[in-house]
């Protein structure tokens, strides 16, 4: 049973470019969460999605960031016009559609903005 | 809104010392509680979780945690740490219905050989 798959694992972008991070949840999981981890800081919640719905995006910056989880295909976290401060590890996690279940993390995507 | 606090930012112990990492949460309803560990350069892995029942839960690698409802706490313990326990430890809480998982800021544990 494959775990949560994230790609790319490492991404380098120049300031002003776009970054797209993909997350395929575990089989049978319909809930996806995105977190950002800055160097020397903890995990910051960004967005919580179910298939075709954004449930909670209270942690998403208002500009340049967007997320989707289409009916088919992976969840995508999109960062437009990246700036140096976007450099971080972005972790995706997934859980099954049952209250109280555990979330399982992917190995993360490390974004470096140069 | 839910929030999670962890008492210590960085804990340094010698091997064989006992460990207790504090975690407190604020939430008005029923919660599920978790501890995750992140080894250097790796992703988060589940250590243990509490849903209901016995408030003392045992996890992997000799870790355990105790849920004290009256104190809104879920402290992590291990009687004797090893060098390989060096990692970042995150406490997390989830409301029972539909809410997202909220993580604490993490506690870095350094175990000296």
Question: Going residue by residue through chain A (114 aa), what tens digit of pLDDT does each one get?
Answer: 469 999 999 999 999 999 999 999 998 888 999 999 987 777 899 999 998 999 889 899 989 999 999 999 999 999 999 999 999 999 999 988 765 578 899 999 999 999
Specify the pLDDT at position B7. Answer: 87
pLDDT value of residue B97? 67
Residues 48-107 of chain B with CB under 8 A from chain A are 49, 51, 90, 94, 96-106
Chain B residue whose CA is closest to A4: B43
Instruction: Give the one of A41, A91, A99 whose C-beta lies nearest to B44's C-beta.
Output: A91
Give residue A99's pLDDT. Answer: 58
Question: Which of A84, A43, A90, A49 is closest to A68 using CA atoms?
Answer: A49
- Mutation target to probe the B interface, by most B beta carbons within 10 A, among A7, A38, A101, A102 is A102
Instruction: Mark the ranges of chain B whose per-residue pLDDT is less than 70.
Output: 1, 97-99
CA A75, A96, B89: angle at the middle one, nearest 5? 85
**B15: nearest Cα among B95, B85, B87, B111:** B111
Decide: B20 and B35 in contact? Cβ < 8 Å: no
């Amino acid at each position: 049973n494959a775990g949560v798959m994230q790609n790319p694992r490492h991404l380098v972008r120049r300031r002003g470019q776009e970054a797209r991070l993909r997350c395929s949840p575990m089989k049978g999981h319909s809930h996806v969460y995105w977190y950002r981890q800055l160097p020397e800081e903890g995990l910051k919640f960004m967005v919580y999605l179910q298939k075709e719905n954004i449930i909670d995006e209270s942690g998403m910056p208002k500009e340049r960031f967007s997320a989707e989880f289409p009916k088919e295909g992976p969840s995508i976290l999109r960062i437009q016009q990246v700036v140096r401060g976007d450099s971080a590890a972005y972790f995706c996690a997934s859980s099954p559609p049952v209250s109280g279940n555990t979330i399982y993390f992917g190995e993360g995507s490390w974004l470096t903005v140069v | 809104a839910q929030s999670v606090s962890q008492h210590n930012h960085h804990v340094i112990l010698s091997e064989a010392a006992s460990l207790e990492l504090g975690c407190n949460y604020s939430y008005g309803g029923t919660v599920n509680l978790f501890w995750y560990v992140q080894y250097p350069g790796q992703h988060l892995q589940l250590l243990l979780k509490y849903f209901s029942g016995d408030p003392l839960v045992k996890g992997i690698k000799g870790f355990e945690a105790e849920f004290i409802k009256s104190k809104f706490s879920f402290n992590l313990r291990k009687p004797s740490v090893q060098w390989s326990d060096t990692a970042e430890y995150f406490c997390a809480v989830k409301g029972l219905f539909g809410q997202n998982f909220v993580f604490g800021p993490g506690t870095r544990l350094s175990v000296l050989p």
